[in-house]
Amino acid sequence: MSETDQAEIDNRIKFLVVVSDCPEARLAAFFSARRAKRSNARVTLLHVIEPPEFGHWATVAETMRAEAQEAAETILHEFAAEVKAQLGEEPEEIICEGVIIDEIRKLIEADPHIAILFLGASTQSSGPGPLVSALAHNPAYLGARPIPVLVVPGSVTRDELRKLSG
């Protein structure tokens, strides 16, 4: 691949998908990959590991951190396989540790190519999920460079998403 081809790939917009082990997040990844293919965009998968709350139990915290890292890698690879199947190319995979909304904001501010945030909304009676709820109530959580947020309902089917993504 020539430098020009690589520069063209590197300058495409990105769709950011927050990865978690829930069906609605998988739908968001599926839809983002299909939209990325139609838009000549890339997909970035983000999994945020919440820090353990064992300040004075360092050994327990480190064990929990290692287990969380391993689980994050496993789920990211599953999502990446789905994205690659739909998009035809490998997505970018990012794992970080922190408060999820803070890590999303940091990534959006650090990467000017991120253009849309894709989230899956839960079908639970308790609401769409903490992240969707937080952003709906306070979009300023996204920081100084606000971007569109596309919420994929957990009740939509893959066939419906195929129709929407062309």
| Token duo for residue 119 | 């989230």
Q: Is the pLDDT of residue 131 over 90?
A: no
Q: How far is CA 135 from CA 90, 92, 124, in A?
A: 28, 23, 18
Pairwise pLDDT comparison (40 vs 64), residue with the higher score: 40
| Confidence at residue 66, expressed as pLDDT on a 0 to 100 scale | 85
Q: Count CB atoms within 10 A of the CB of residue 157.
A: 9
Pairwise pLDDT comparison (133 vs 13), residue with the higher score: 13
**CATH class of the domain comprising 3-164:** alpha beta
The residue to which tokens 């082990």 are assigned: 21
CB 49 within 8 A of CB 21: no
Distance CA 154, CA 73 (A): 23
Q: Is the pLDDT of residue 156 over 80?
A: yes
- Of 42-56, 76-90, 128-142, where does mean pLDDT reach its minimum? 128-142
Q: Is the pLDDT of residue 6 over 80?
A: no
Pairwise pLDDT comparison (58 vs 13), residue with the higher score: 13
Average pLDDT rounded to a whole number, residues 80-106: 95
What one-letter code names the amino acid at 128?
P
Q: Is the pLDDT of residue 7 over 60?
A: no
What one-letter code names the amino acid at 166?
G
Share of the chain above pLDDT 90, in %: 55
Q: Is the pLDDT of residue 49 over 70?
A: yes
Q: Is the pLDDT of residue 152 over 80?
A: yes
Q: How do residues 90-102 score in pLDDT, each as one tens digit?
A: 999 999 999 998 9
The whole-angstrom distance between residue 74's C-alpha and the CA centroid of its chain comes to 15
| Confidence at residue 9, expressed as pLDDT on a 0 to 100 scale | 58
pTM of the model: 0.85
